[in-house]
């Protein structure tokens, strides 16, 4: 798979090829200029095309997806209105803690691949290898998955052969994949804006319906909160707790992707300032969007409504659509379906970004063949993109029912990957705090730090492990064994352990001692980074813009 030692790599001026440094085919190391953490190679070959507003909106794009518009109904049905609200609030708190941890480490070391590269610096090359390929696999499978979901949404309006729409979406995705990074940023910016506007619209519409603002409809208030919890599997308080806990998996899926905003750190303008700022605003967005949406849905639709359990994959299963249809408002289903379609394609684009940049980061450290270091003259790792687009052809399996079943099994292999990524992010931050203490370095020297993170990272770390281990708890209850659910919940754990153990045995790697983590070097690079300048403070009404500024 490897290219020749003279593979063309873009120069600073983007016009002339230069000789690529020698590297072992797999598992070797690429020499970096003076051992820099942010390598000279990624500085030269990647383009800083993501502005502050792009990074802000990528964070929103990861937090708002089809899970919010379509998935809330299932959570209400299994946990009740209050159980679902508490479940999403709990995962939202974990995500906020994880994002703060990610922001602190990314501000110190804004490298391509983000926490995958951080895992090697703060832990072990074997861990970086295992987590990196797990992220790459999940992202590669995510593209055909989202394309398949988009096709289902399109079929809400038309019965044209699904293969036609798969072809169209693959071509469009390929164009985005090889385009200048700023093109991706602009697409995500406007898609995220659409999502924000739709959330605001459905929340306001829900309140109008709930408060009796629709002619012929009586005021509902908190009528459906008479039974705030729903018993699930068991009876009594234990059954209500299981209903609450069952929401965790849906909520994690809804928030999946928020960690990808730092994956393209080397392609972000002033990443040491912009990435932490984006991470900080996740808390406000989660509070405003998800909790408001869950609260309103719980007020509009009863938990025992059979329509909430629909698996159509289109807007018809959205609790907002159910409420609007009952109120006689007919335009809402198509509107929500259209925005869900953009959300699915946005998620596909985000998987492309995460997959290609993580693979590029693995190649930089010798954990992947060096052919994946090739970039276009405008700074896009085109060989990484080519491999990812090749995987997107798996979306054609949705045309055949039997093939689609196989595809779903392949997708199940990476379903727990999100939690494993979050565990890695928080563990890396914990190692950062421990290393700073051992080396006698004050946290005041970090480019960005919040004193609560030394505690919040432990909370998120332990919580994610518990959720990962209990994600398939239903299969262990009497009469509920299901092989597909078991595979979906747990197969990723032994896969990552095998990758980690295999690499460690073959290359005999060791965990980096806390004393040897290059914090002084990283701090010096941050101090001498010409882009590391304070961002302009918001003035006037802009100070209150916590949504997309």
> What's this model's pTM, rounded to 2 decimal places?
0.86
Greater pLDDT, 472 or 408: 472
Query: Is the separation of the CB atoms in 366 and 509 below 8 Å?
Result: no
Beta bridge partners of 112: 264
- When pLDDT is averaged across residues 57-64 and rounded to a whole number, the result is 69
- When pLDDT is averaged across residues 536-540 and rounded to a whole number, the result is 63
- When pLDDT is averaged across residues 32-50 and rounded to a whole number, the result is 64
Query: For residue 84, how many other CB atoms are within 10 A of its CB?
Result: 31
- When pLDDT is averaged across residues 369-388 and rounded to a whole number, the result is 91
- The number of helix segments (H) and strand segments (E) in the chain equals 21, 0
CA distance 64 to 347: 10
Q: What is the pLDDT of residues 171-228, one digit of tens each?
A: 998 998 888 788 888 888 888 888 888 888 888 988 998 888 888 778 888 888 888 9
Which pLDDT score is estimated for 3? 39
pLDDT at 24 over 90: no
Q: Which of 34-43, 64-73, 265-274, 350-359 has the highest mean pLDDT?
A: 350-359
Which CATH class name applies to 34-506? mainly alpha
How is the chain split into domains, by residue range? Answer: 34-506
Three-state DSSP at 454 gives helix
Query: For residue 163, how many other CB atoms are within 10 A of its CB?
Result: 13
Which pLDDT score is estimated for 488? 82
CA distance 412 to 145: 11
Beta bridge partners of 268: 50
Q: How confident is the model at residue 473 (pLDDT cuts 50, 70, 90)?
A: very high
pLDDT at 515 over 90: yes
Instruction: Output DSSP code: residue 393.
Output: G
Percent of the chain with pLDDT over 90: 36
Which pLDDT score is estimated for 1? 38
Structure tokens at 46: 């990647």
Greater pLDDT, 3 or 137: 137
**Which helix H or strand E contains 44, and what residues bound it?**
helix 40-45
Which pLDDT score is estimated for 28? 39
Percent of the chain with pLDDT over 70: 83
Which positions ≥6 away from 175 have C-beta within 8 Å?
none
Q: How confident is the model at residue 314 (pLDDT cuts 50, 70, 90)?
A: low
Chain-centre distance for alpha carbon 544: 26
Q: How confident is the model at residue 540 (pLDDT cuts 50, 70, 90)?
A: low
Q: What is the largest CA-CA distance in the chain?
A: 74
When mean pLDDT is compared across 63-77, 365-379, 516-530, the lowest value belongs to 63-77
Which pLDDT score is estimated for 62? 62
When mean pLDDT is compared across 201-210, 307-316, 417-426, 459-468, the lowest value belongs to 307-316
- When pLDDT is averaged across residues 441-469 and rounded to a whole number, the result is 95
pLDDT at 329 over 90: no
- When pLDDT is averaged across residues 65-76 and rounded to a whole number, the result is 78
Locate the DSSP E strands across 410-533: none
Structure tokens at 417: 């990957």
Which pLDDT score is estimated for 73? 83
When mean pLDDT is compared across 74-88, 153-167, 261-275, 401-415, the lowest value belongs to 401-415
pLDDT at 2 over 80: no
């Amino acid at each position: 798979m490897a290219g020749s030692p003279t593979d063309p790599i873009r120069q600073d001026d983007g016009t002339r090829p230069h000789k690529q440094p020698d590297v072992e085919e797999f598992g070797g190391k690429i020499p970096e200029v003076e051992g820099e953490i942010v390598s000279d190679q990624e500085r030269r070959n990647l383009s800083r095309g993501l502005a502050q507003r792009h990074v802000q909106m990528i964070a929103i794009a990861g937090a708002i997806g089809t899970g919010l518009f379509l998935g809330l109904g299932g959570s209400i049905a299994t946990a009740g209105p209050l159980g679902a609200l508490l479940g999403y609030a709990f995962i939202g708190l974990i995500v906020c803690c994880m994002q703060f941890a990610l922001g602190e480490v990314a501000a110190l070391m804004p490298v391509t691949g983000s926490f995958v590269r951080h895992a090697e610096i703060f832990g072990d090359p074997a861990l970086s290898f295992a987590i990196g390929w797990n992220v790459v696999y999940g992202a590669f499978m995510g593209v055909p998955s989202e394309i398949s979901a988009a096709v289902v949404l399109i079929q809400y309006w038309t019965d044209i052969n699904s293969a036609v729409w798969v072809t169209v979406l693959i071509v469009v995705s390929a164009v985005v994949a090889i385009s200048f990074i700023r093109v991706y940023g602009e697409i995500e910016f406007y898609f995220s804006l659409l999502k924000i506007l739709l959330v605001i619209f459905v929340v306001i519409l829900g309140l109008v319906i709930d408060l009796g603002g629709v002619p012929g409809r009586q005021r509902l208030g908190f009528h459906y909160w008479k039974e705030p919890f729903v018993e699930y599997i068991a009876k009594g308080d234990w059954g209500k707790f299981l209903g609450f806990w069952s929401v965790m998996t849906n909520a994690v899926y809804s928030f999946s992707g928020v960690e990808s905003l730092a994956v393209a750190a080397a392609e972000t303008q002033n990443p040491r300032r912009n990435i932490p700022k984006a991470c900080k605003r996740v808390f406000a967005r989660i509070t405003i969007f998800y909790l408001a949406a869950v609260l309103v849905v719980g007020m509009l639709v009863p938990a025992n409504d059979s329509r909430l359990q629909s698996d159509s994959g289109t807007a018809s299963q959205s609790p907002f659509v159910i409420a609007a249809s009952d109120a006689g408002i007919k335009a809402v289903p198509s509107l929500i379906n259209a925005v869900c379609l953009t959300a699915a394609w946005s998620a596909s684009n985000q998987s492309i970004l995460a997959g290609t940049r993580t693979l590029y980061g693995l190649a930089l450290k010798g954990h992947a063949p060096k052919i994946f270091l090739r970039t276009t003259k405008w700074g896009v790792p085109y060989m990484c993109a080519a491999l990812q687009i090749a995987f997107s052809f798996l979306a054609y399996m949705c045309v055949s029912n039997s093939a689609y079943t196989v595809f779903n099994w392949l997708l199940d292999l990476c379903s727990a990957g999100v939690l494993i990524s979050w565990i890695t992010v928080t563990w890396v931050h914990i190692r950062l705090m421990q290393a700073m203490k051992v080396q006698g370095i004050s946290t005041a020297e970090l480019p960005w730090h919040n004193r609560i993170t030394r505690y919040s990272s432990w909370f998120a770390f332990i919580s994610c492990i518990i959720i990962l281990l209990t994600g398939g708890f239903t299969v262990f209850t009497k009469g509920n064994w299901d092989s597909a659910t078991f595979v979906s919940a747990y197969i990723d754990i032994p896969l990552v352990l095998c990758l980690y153990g295999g690499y460690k045995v073959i290359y005999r790697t060791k965990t980096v001692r806390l004393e040897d983590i290059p914090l002084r070097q990283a701090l010096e690079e941050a101090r001498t980074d010409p882009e590391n300048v304070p961002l302009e403070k918001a003035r006037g009404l802009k100070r209150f813009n916590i949504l997309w500024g």
